[in-house]
Structure 1
Amino acid sequence: MENHNHQQLIEKLLNCVSACEHCATACLHEDDVQMMTRCISLDRDCADICAQATRLLQRDSEIGHQYLLLCEEICRLCAEECGKHQHDHCQQCAEACRVCADACHQHHQPITQG
């Protein structure tokens, strides 16, 4: 059931994971780490959630596309926070998160309980 769009989504998710991990690590080396704590926290959450989304899609989980709702939400939160900081790593992370959030939005399905 893997199609080209699915693979592109996975690539965007993995790119977001990489950008968030890089940003969190770089934030730890900034002069005023206290100012970066929310950024670091959201980076870590976003990386974990996007990595899990990738695993769910790769295994064709029946909740994979519903999980993308959560993925979109954390990506938008992370993009908003990173976008407030002028560091290159934050700006690059914000852009990766926006791209990923948009891709998740295009592919997610509503959560249903039946």
Structure 2
Amino acid sequence: MTHHSAEHRDPAINECIDNCQQCHAICLETINYCLTKGGKHADPQHIALMAVCADICATSADAMLRGSQVHSVICGACAEVCRRCAESCASMGDDAEMQRCVDICRRCADSCQRMAA
């Protein structure tokens, strides 16, 4: 039986898990922020994209934690969703909360892209 605890995993995988878990949390927090702010921030497509991003980040982290061989497929999709989410958040203008989401989405996209390769 293969043991998949953190100390036995590739450090790059651990980093990607951390990024996915952080991105999941920050997307959820940013959804709350956007709904409170209203206007263009509360646009249904923007909210939906952040929600899907949170979901796929959680799924991606879970797949890596489980040591599943399909994690590369999920990570590839996660990278694409994170990139789109970063673009959507960046389009909201100069806003520290949105920038926080942009930064983690880009970081997560980069690490997921490496896992998918």
Q: Report the TM-score range of the alignment, normalised by the length of the smaller protein.
A: 0.7 to 0.9
How much does 1:20 deviate?
Answer: 0.5
The residue number in structure 2 matching 1:106 is: 114
Number of matched residues? 109
Unpaired runs of 5+ in structure 1?
110-114
When the two chains are superposed, the root-mean-square deviation of aligned CA atoms in Å is: 1.6
**Identity across aligned pairs (percent)?**
28
Spell out the pairing of 1:1-114 with structure 2 (5 A cutoff): 2-32=9-39, 36-86=43-93, 87-109=95-117
TM-score scaled by structure 1?
Answer: 0.87
Equivalent residues of 2:86, 2:105 under 8 A apart: yes
* Cα separation, 2, equivalents of 1:12 and 1:49: 12
| AA partner of residue 22 (structure 1) | E
| AA partner of residue 110 (structure 2) | D
How much does 1:65 deviate?
Answer: 1.3
* Cα separation, 2, equivalents of 1:69 and 1:7: 16
